Structure 1
Amino acid sequence: MLKNKTMRLKILFLCLGCTLAGLLLQTYLFQTTSSELIYNQAKSDSYRSMENMQDDIYTFIKSIENGLIDIYNEKEFIMDLRSGMESSTLQNRYYRTAYDIATENFQTSDGVVSLYIYDKSHRIISTYRRAVTPKHNYPTDIYDPLFNDNAEKVKEYVDSDETQMLISSYYNVYREKNIVRFVLKVYNSVNIHSKIGYVVCDVDSKILKKIMRKYTSEDEIFIWLQPFNDRPVLAAGNIMDSDSNVYEQICDQIQKGNQEFENIQEKNKVFFSVYQDKYNLGAYTLIPRDLLNRNQKILNENLILITLIMLAVVSISFYFVSRLLSRPLEEMTKTVKRIQGGETQLRMENLRNDEVGELGKSFNNMLDQIEKLIADEYENKMSLNYARYQALQAQINPHFLYNTLDTMGSIAEIQGCIQVSNLCQSLAGLFRYSLDMKNPLSTVSGELVHLKNYIYVMNVRMQNQVEYEFHIDDNVLQDTLPRISIQPLVENALNHGLKNQKGKKKVIISAGIRDDDLLISVEDNGIGMSDEKIRELFSEDPGEKQKNRSIGIFNIHKRMQYLYGESYGVKIKSEPEKGTVVFLEIPRKKQGENQNACKKL
């Protein structure tokens, strides 16, 4: 009994000594290294905040770009602009086009204050200015010499080969604030390398400043946005007079296209930058070092308190634990050593019905599974190597196939076979999209491109017997969904709904929002189906007549339920001789928000 107590006391004193030594060592190391660690962590948090801010800014810029791209829907205007019509004639015909684009594609919350349309020779065609007053005044032409609105950057961009949308700014003396400027080139739809004009959209900087304020909770943090090779767009936060020279020096280097500002280090300031992946708009910040180190003193005080509490808790805990565990643990240790010595068939015996006993049972089960795993290891390695080989082999043939289709399309185009060329290009697009296994998720926009390639191929096969109609809400174009989810629904309508239909054949494809969900429908005016046939389509064990039919619908339905839950998937509304509507409903997710779905895929 005395020996057991001595063992328990040894365990207790040893644990207490190790704990105390560890806490004292941790305190010492924390005092000597915490400053830099806290600083680096705070800097990392600030950098991540900047990245999140850039994500929100990217979303806003993308919405502006989507609105400007709508100019291509003005087909008559694009045709006249492409034909080289006199600017005076274009001005007379399309003086309201800028107004229509600004009012139809942008909300008041987007902050669009003016919009201009120019031909490729920088002649104004149409102008929109919102609520012009003496205080809210904007140029009727950005090249008006009375306004110093940084228009030379626009001309420099338009005359260059740059294809990304330009982001610039100018200072409006009437508003006494910076105005953010977006410029999008308009290309010839026949020859995308030939520009025929451009659109200039000026936006109130308060929209971007609102986003910036969301990520700058401290007034001491100074942050600004500035495109490379251009003036700053706007800034948020306060900057001390002593730091103004640093700010001006960095801005000057960015405007000149230099990157030497990356090496600027101030004694009491931290500088770093975050860039957009697509658009030329960097975010820069100056943060006081004292702000990043503010929590160090609080952590030091808490560490002392935690040390005292830990000593008390460890003392009590180890005392009771040592009493319960010392003897059975000694027996288990001896058994483990014998197993380590080579007695692999040995198992723990005389186990009690407590936690230590459960540990021994689990250890015995682990040894049994280890023996089985060792036996299966070689076979698993061989299977893995074979699977890798098969994956590499699978990448070769599809690439050869759609590259061959591209070559055939180019030859057909050279020889004047336009339809064959277009058919090859559509087929190549179908293969590329279908065989891209690296990206299991796509967007509604990407699905529609894939669908239109499929429709073109089917129109060639069916000699344009089917009429297609699209009703797509622009707000869902960037919503994500599993790849190849829409095209099988249209294929089902062609193969089953319209195949035996006489007379006019029509398919309507719609996409929109319902109760914060993405709702896609495919409607046909075909022969329809009965309720019994609809139930057979969703049966996991279809009858003999239904085998190998409408597999696409069943497959899509099961995929959606697996990814998003039983409440989502495919629904069918149909009556014999009255057509069919197939609905696909899933939760709305933007790009980057489907991480769980990607893991399942």
Structure 2
Amino acid sequence: MSQIEGSNVSKRIMQKIGGLRLRSKILISNLIIIFLISTVIGSASVYTANYFLESNTKDLSEQIVHQVSDNIEYRAREFMNSTVYLISDQLLRSFLTGKDELVTEDNFPAYWSRVNIVLSQFASNNRYIRSIVIKSNKGTVYWWEDQHYVKNDLNIRSASKIINQAETGLKQSGREYAWTSSFRGEEEVSLTRYFINLGHVNEHLGTVVINMDPNFFRNLKSDISFISPDNLMILNQNQQVLVKSSLQLLEQKELFDQIQTQSGSLNGFIRKINGQSYLITQEKTNPSGWRVICVIPLTILKDHSRLLQWIVIVISALAILISVAISWFLSARTTKNIKLLERNMRKVEEGDFNVRTDIMGRDEVGMLSVRFNFMVGRINELVNSVYKERIAKQQAQFQVLLAQINPHFLYNTLGTIKWFARMKDQSDIEKMTSALIELLKSSVRRTSEFHTLSDEMMELNNYIFIQKSGYGDELRVTFDIDEELLDSFVPHFSLQPLLENAILHGIELSKGNALIIIRARHEKEVVHLIVEDNGIGMDAQKIEHILNRDGHQKMFPGMSSIGVRAVNDRIQLYFGKGYGLFYESELGQGTKAIIKLPYLTKLEEAESYAAGHDR
């Protein structure tokens, strides 16, 4: 029974809320949101502060580890290259080869002293070098040790032990050099490499071990208090610790095992060790394969988050007070403008496209009013434009149909005339009939509104052949065609009406030798097809009548098989108002008829282009 009562109460509450005005709904919803924010702002601020600091610390530690890794790789490579100066020393090479004198117990101190000077000079260039041990292939061992170092314990026995262990490890690695931890148990980084013969790089004269202070690789320069060189540890490719951290935690096997399970670079992760959480970031250097690991206790991060928590709390409290006042004002103003906009939309639904809405400010509702006015005006323009273009297209198609009345009948009849002329041995009539048949073929058999310019030229040649049969030498036609355009696509019968117009209304009226030049050029992505004659020319009024629909039909009926105006209409319907037919002419100076088309090299592209403009 209680469940049914609870359900009824919920329904009544929802019904009351649904019956409220929009203004009341907005105000109530804002107050509910403000109340929820005020109850959770304390915990949310703490969580946000910790998350923000932890996330940024993670990103920052990854960037620093990446920089340190690059620096370590660079330093290791730079120091390795510097050892070339050591192995190129002529005195050392002569001592190691033993060419000058055999080393004995009597003369060894003298040799050792001279080698010690050379090694000391080399070490003076790098303050991080603690000791150097060299062994020749004959087993003679020389060494040098920094006198300022606390433990000056190198002697013939300890030096031999170090060089023998290093030499064994180097042979096992199969490489020319190796970075390892110290062979004498000190906190050092050791570089072992073969002392090669520069004259014969495959020949080894001995082995050299250089022990370095680990601070050579600690080069973290940062003002961030919770990231310091003490947080870093470096492992070589064999997982030996080259540089230790002062944090004792890094020495614990539990943490080391967890680090070993992670691979890749910049893969920051958080692990809990002995009840305490740590942010661990690592990266693998390239090409040495070392791993640089940074461990930061999260307790340090929490100490830095307290100030941020207080800032978030204060800002949230101010935002709550301000939002309560603003929500009441906006709820009233917003609903007023929305109601006005809704009434105008209903008028548009009823078919009134002349309705407009007053601009109601610069907020979203105001911008919606601007877009609404633009949308209604655009719809009105599109309705009128579509209507006009459909009428224009129907008229252009009608003119095309008039020019193609029963082409199959004409084609068959002309075929009969051609064979009859052949039987009567009338070759001129047969050639004229064949040219006319080819013209009709292009009309009967075409499957697209477009064909190549070379096909258009072929049809034009057939038409010129027919016309020259009547005009003879009085009609001359020359071509100036860019061969690159022959494979481009143009609408069918684009040039034939212009050529016919030039003959009938330009050349014929001139009563003299007729010259017509047909050109094809392209500028960037626009093709210009030009029909130029030396006829009597036209004035601006006559050009206007030709391109005007009414004037064209009344003053120049039957101008061509399709009609000059139809050519212009088809091009503009297919490609837009930027293209079409244009005239350049003066009385007594001849006429240029210019067609502008887009440069199209694929049939699919031409048909798609035309379909996109033919709405």
Indicate the TM-score class for this superposition, using the shorter chain for normalisation: 0.3 to 0.5
Tell me the TM-score normalised to structure 1 length.
0.41
The structure number with the bigger radius of gyration is 2
